[in-house]
Amino acid sequence: MFTERLLQLGIKIGMDGRGRALDNIFVERRWRSVKYEEVYLKDYPFAPDAILGLSGYFGFYNRERLHQSLDYKTPEAVYRQGIKLAAETTLT
């Protein structure tokens, strides 16, 4: 079984628990955006077209698209702000 192999390798498996529902909401919302803002509009005829299109979309999604849930910032800006705060915290 797949999970047995992971356990043999010492890999911890997160199956259920606190926060799991919130993780699922995040993933579902992201894929809903991907489908409605990219996939359904482009209707890719071939897999290489989809790979190229989705690659561009995720760049846009992370670096340019403002997110209401992130106080109208991009995910990259929030990530970099967290890195900066973490660095400042360890320096003081």
Segments forming the whole domain that contains residue 42: 17-91
User: By C-alpha distance, which of 27, 3, 22, 23 is closest to 13?
Assistant: 3
Residue 23 lies in a domain: yes
pLDDT tier at 19 (50, 70, 90 boundaries)? low
**CA 67, CA 33: separation in Å to the nearest integer?**
11
* Number of compact structural domains in the chain: 1
pLDDT tier at 86 (50, 70, 90 boundaries)? confident
Question: How confident is the model over 21-71, as pLDDT tens digits?
Answer: 667 787 888 899 999 999 999 999 999 999 999 999 999 999 999 999 899
Residue 72 lies in a domain: yes
SS3 3: helix
**CA 56, CA 37: separation in Å to the nearest integer?**
12
